[in-house]
Amino acid sequence: MSALFGNYGKRRAQIVKGQGTVVEDAKGKKYLDFTSGIAVVSLGHAHPAIVKAVQQQSEKLWHISNLFEIPGQETVAQKLVADTHFTYAFFCNSGAEANEAAIKLARKHTGKNHIITFEKSFHGRTFGAMSATGQGKVHNGFGPLVDKFTILPFNNVESLEATVDDTVAAIMLEMIQGEGGVNSVTPEFAASLAKACAEKGILLIVDEVQTGIGRTGTRFAYEQTVLKPHIVTLAKGLGSGFPIGGMLGTAELYDTFGPGTHGTTFGGNPLAMSVAETVLDHVFAPDFLHNVQDLSAYFIKQLKANLPTTYTVQGQGLLLGIGCGDTEVASYIKEAEEKGLLLVGAGPNVIRLLPPLTVSKAEIEEAIAILKSILR
Ligand X SMILES: *Cc1c(COP(=O)(O)O)cnc(C)c1O
Closer residue to ligand X, CB minimum distance, 182 or 329: 182
Closer residue to ligand X, CB minimum distance, 240 or 302: 240
Q: Is 123 in the site for ligand X (CB under 6 A)?
A: yes
Q: Which of 96, 103, 106, 350 binds ligand X (CB under 6 A)?
A: 96
- CB of residue 1 to ligand X, shortest distance in Å: 27
Q: Is 101 in the site for ligand X (CB under 6 A)?
A: no
Q: Is 235 in the site for ligand X (CB under 6 A)?
A: yes
What is the Cα–Cα distance from 317 to 293, expressed in whole angstroms?
6
Closer residue to ligand X, CB minimum distance, 345 or 368: 345
Q: Is 321 in the site for ligand X (CB under 6 A)?
A: no
Stretch that binds ligand X, among 84-92, 93-101, 152-160, 343-351 (CB under 6 A): 93-101
Q: Is 210 in the site for ligand X (CB under 6 A)?
A: yes
Tell the burial category of 277 from Cβ atoms under 10 Å away from its Cβ (0-12, 13-18, 19+): middle
Q: Which of 33, 119, 179, 363 binds ligand X (CB under 6 A)?
A: 179
Closer residue to ligand X, CB minimum distance, 129 or 375: 129
What is the Cα–Cα distance from 268 to 72, expressed in whole angstroms?
8
Q: Is 178 in the site for ligand X (CB under 6 A)?
A: yes
CB-closest chain residue to ligand X:
95
Closer residue to ligand X, CB minimum distance, 99 or 358: 99
The answer for residues whose C-beta is within 8 angstroms of residue 207's C-beta and 6 or more apart is: 95, 99, 102, 121, 123, 172, 173, 174, 232, 233
Q: Is 124 in the site for ligand X (CB under 6 A)?
A: yes
Q: For 137, phi and psi rounded to 5 degrees?
A: -65, -25
Alpha carbon distances (Å) from 206 to 64, 97, 174, 292, 358: 30, 14, 6, 21, 25
- CB of residue 258 to ligand X, shortest distance in Å: 26
Q: Is 242 in the site for ligand X (CB under 6 A)?
A: no
Q: Is 222 in the site for ligand X (CB under 6 A)?
A: no
Q: Which of 209, 283, 322, 343 binds ligand X (CB under 6 A)?
A: 209
- CB of residue 76 to ligand X, shortest distance in Å: 17
Number of residues that bind ligand X (CB under 6 A): 15
Q: Is 246 in the site for ligand X (CB under 6 A)?
A: no
Binding stretches for ligand X (CB under 6 A): 94-96, 99, 122-124, 174, 178-179, 207, 209-210, 235-236
